[in-house]
Chains A and B, each alone.
Chain A
């Protein structure tokens, strides 16, 4: 017994160290957001900037020389264009998350309720589409946005996002595991498809819907490729684009902006971690 406890202790220590390494980049981002612009420039300018020759190593700081809220102030109060971009990110991500989840939940129900040869074939097509890297759908997306006249408007991003097949696959997998007994009972009571969907499938899928929603949100919150291809106007760009293109002059702001950018994700995560943990796959097995 003692030996086992010792072994578990060692294991715990190893896992704890690993866990620390996992949170380190997050912690570093937060810590560095309190650095002054000049300290960031001095500390990291060489690594993040033009790549000039350096004699010394660049060490990420765990403790700032002087902690300051200056970066946050600049971001929140003195630069409306960044807030505009933040708002753009919200405008893209929230509708896509909600509507893609809704459209996908309906489709998933269609796929798992009456599986037929045809539907299985269509589902296979969905799966292939889901696994395609964005670069494959890039040309189709671009062409259709030109055709529909949505190119360089928010619809160019919203529409393909809402109908993206990603969540369909996840939700279908989940719904397939809802025990058939529930359905049979409902059908005996004369429930129609709409009632079965609303009264049985949706409540059973709450965790899965939340989990899928989170995955979609994180993905579109960080989108880079779509806006670059489909949007030209600077005013329509989401913050993720600006953050990823950040240049030397604005380096000081980068970490503070990243922290602010992280907040919606953090809130979603804290609100829904147990849904993630309840898992997507295990749902109905119990």
Chain B
């Protein structure tokens, strides 16, 4: 066992597990998405997909999930980056601040839900202090509440990822930039940003994963049939699963997988491009 064969053994356990628990069953999903009944179904081509694309609930869920991703991911990358840059400056108690930002990670979701429900209730604490009467759970602003929850949960970890990346930039580059009289902004774009590129890419992926996981909180807060603006793709899939409409669910799962695949392929292409650029420098 030399060369590739040797290292292939390392992949084997994971590969077998993923194959058995994720890939093979996914084959069944593909099959379901193409037939009209789970048992002894007839092949119906793309009918399930066509039906899905004219399904109002699916479209609503897809739209809301799209909006959530489009807003949450950039914020979950940019805010922590800014925070990390601030934490680089000469201010006291840096590590305590970092710990405070990280603390939401370890709070059990269930207690977050309790606190959030009291905070954002129509007669809740937030409205009391703001003097407003917003029904956070049933209005167009609901998405704002979810965004707040998402950022609160994830900003801390992303911030320390950036902090670590910033700390790893060799001092000499920064000293040189200082000698050249480059201001903070210029230093950021010419010196720091190229070094941060891999971390930014990584944080984008982590943010995407987290955006998908925030459904858990949304669902616990508002149940299976939330206000329209909070109805996510996952709600649709969850509800479809419960009504055992496997064909519809499978078609939705497959479509989502394709969209995600395309998104990741695009991201990876960008990453490879960036890698090449830094190598050439």
Contact = CB atoms under 8 A, between A and B. Distances in A.
Interface in A256-275: 258-259, 261-262, 265-266, 268-269, 273
Contacts of B144: none
Interface stretch (A63-71, A72-80, A109-117): A109-117
28 contacts: A8-B90, A8-B91, A16-B97, A19-B100, A22-B100, A23-B100, A47-B121, A57-B123, A57-B124, A58-B125, A103-B14, A106-B10, A132-B257, A133-B234, A135-B238, A139-B32, A163-B20, A166-B209, A224-B216, A225-B238, A229-B241, A243-B110, A246-B110, A254-B114, A258-B110, A261-B108, A262-B111, A277-B163
Interface residues on B, range: 35 or more
A83 interface: no
Contacts of B261: 124, 128
B165 A279 contact: yes
A168 to B, nearest CB: 6
Interface string A228-265: 01000000000010011010000000110011011001
Given A59-B128, A258-B114, A281 B17 contact: no
Interface in A169-202: 169, 173, 192-193, 197
A12 B10 contact: no
Contact of B124 (A47, A143, A163, A192): A47
B264 A124 contact: yes
B264 A128 contact: yes
Contact of B212 (A26, A133, A279): A133
B145 interface: no
Interface string A35-71: 0000000001011100000101111100000000000
A107 B246 contact: no
Given A60-B115, A160-B22, A281-B165, A107 B11 contact: yes
Interface residues of A, number: 101
B6 A15 contact: no
Interface stretch (B47-55, B154-162, B186-194): B154-162
Contacts of B102: 269, 273, 276
A26 B103 contact: yes
Interface of A: 8-9, 11-12, 15-16, 18-20, 22-23, 25-26, 28-29, 44, 46-48, 54, 56-60, 103-104, 106-107, 109-111, 113-114, 116, 119, 122, 124-144, 159-160, 162-163, 165-166, 168-169, 173, 192-193, 197, 218-219, 221-222, 224-225, 229, 240, 243-244, 246, 254-255, 258-259, 261-262, 265-266, 268-269, 273, 276-282, 285-286
Given A131-B264, A141-B25, A110 B97 contact: no
B123 to A, nearest CB: 5
A262 B19 CA distance: 34
Nearest to A246: B110
Contacts of A281: 161, 164-165, 198-199, 202
A278 B164 contact: yes
Interface of B: 3-4, 6-15, 17-18, 20-26, 28-29, 32, 83, 86-87, 89-93, 96-119, 121, 123-125, 127-128, 152, 156-157, 160-161, 163-165, 167-168, 198-199, 202, 205, 208-209, 212-213, 215-216, 219-220, 233-234, 237-238, 241, 246, 249-250, 253, 256-257, 260-261, 263-265, 268
A114 B2 CA distance: 12
A279 B161 contact: yes
Contact of B4 (A28, A116, A218): A116
Contacts of B114: 29, 44, 48, 246, 254-255, 258
Given A160-B22, A224-B220, A136 B123 contact: no
Contact of A26 (B96, B98, B107): B107
Contacts of A134: 212-213, 215, 234
Nearest to A137: B22
B25 A140 contact: yes
Contacts of B127: 57
Contact of A19 (B7, B12, B101): B101
B177 to A, nearest CB: 18
Contacts of A57: 123-125, 127-128
B220 A141 contact: no
A280 B202 contact: yes
Given A11-B89, A135-B237, A279-B168, 9 more contacts: A9-B91, A15-B97, A25-B112, A54-B123, A60-B119, A125-B23, A139-B253, A262-B106, A265-B106
Nearest to B209: A131
A29 B104 CA distance: 12
Contacts of A229: 241
Contact of B107 (A29, A60, A129, A273): A29
A255 B115 CA distance: 9
B256 to A, nearest CB: 6
B99 A273 contact: yes
Contact of B18 (A132, A143, A165): A165
